[in-house]
Structure formats: structure tokens, C-alpha cells
């Protein structure tokens, strides 16, 4: 049960932005790729520093949807590897048969929102079950 991300106030969005970026740092994701994952591929790489300092992520449905997936992925990794942050990071950078031998990071960067959903579904069985159930 994640609260909807849109309509947050500035302070909340700033906090969310910092949290997301530090999470992506923990996963060893390059600045340029962080922007891609957040749906800001067109932004210059230095935009990441602005986001870190004082600028919240844009309050756009696409960006917020991606943030929601990324948070769910982080939660699922914590559930999968409750005692090791490092294992989660290793998993993110390990080629996976499920993603055509790509790493989860590459899958998310290359496939956009579809990649985020694939990685999330892989980690979070209840989420993929919801997906298949609602297509009925």
C-alpha cells in the first residue's frame, strides 16, 4: 500500500527525491542511467546533482510511476535479502536468464517502464500475480 505519489508537497517530494537517488547510488547506478530510470533521459547528466541539492523530481505521472516501481523493487529486494544490502546490489548487476541474459539494471535502463515492471514482477510475486489477474 504505497500512497499515491502525485500531489505531494515540495518538502515531501524533495525528501522522496533524495531517498530515491541514494537508493540508486546504493545500487551503483551511473548518474546518466539514474536519469533514464526516472524518465528524465533528456536531462543533462548534471541534473542529478541539482536533484541531490535542492530540486525535487518533476511531479509528472510518468516520473512518479517510475519512482513507485523503483521503491517497490527496493522493498522486494529487502524482502528477498533481508540481511544483506550488498546481495541486493549484486543481484541488480548480475546477468539473469529471465531478462535475456541482461542484468536487472540494464533491463530497466534499456526497456523503460516495461523493464521496471519486469524486474518488479520478477522480485515481487504478488505484484505479477495482480498483473495477470487484472488482465482477465
pTM: 0.86
DSSP for 99-130, written as a single string:
GTTB-HHHHHHHHHHHHHHHHHHHH-HHHHHH
Residue-by-residue pLDDT tens, the chain, 136 positions: 455 566 678 889 899 999 999 999 999 999 999 999 999 999 998 899 999 888 999 988 999 999 999 999 999 999 989 888 899 999 999 999 999 999 999 999 999 999 999 999 999 877 766 766 654 4
Q: Looking up cell 513507485, which residue turns up? A: 68
Amino acid at each position: 500500500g504505497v500512497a499515491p505519489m502525485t500531489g505531494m508537497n515540495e518538502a515531501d517530494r524533495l525528501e522522496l527525491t533524495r531517498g530515491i537517488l541514494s537508493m540508486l547510488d546504493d545500487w551503483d547506478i551511473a548518474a546518466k542511467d539514474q536519469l533514464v530510470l526516472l524518465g528524465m533521459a533528456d536531462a543533462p547528466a548534471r541534473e542529478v546533482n541539482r536533484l541531490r541539492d535542492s530540486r525535487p523530481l518533476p511531479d509528472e505521472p510518468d516520473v512518479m510511476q517510475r519512482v513507485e516501481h523503483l521503491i517497490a523493487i527496493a522493498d522486494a529486494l529487502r524482502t528477498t535479502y533481508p540481511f544483506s544490502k550488498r546481495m541486493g546490489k549484486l543481484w541488480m548487476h548480475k546477468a539473469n536468464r529471465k531478462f535475456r541474459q541482461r542484468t536487472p539494471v540494464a533491463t530497466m535502463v534499456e526497456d523503460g517502464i516495461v523493464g521496471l515492471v519486469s524486474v518488479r514482477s520478477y522480485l515481487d510475486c504478488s505484484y505479477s500475480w495482480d498483473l495477470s489477474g487484472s488482465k482477465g
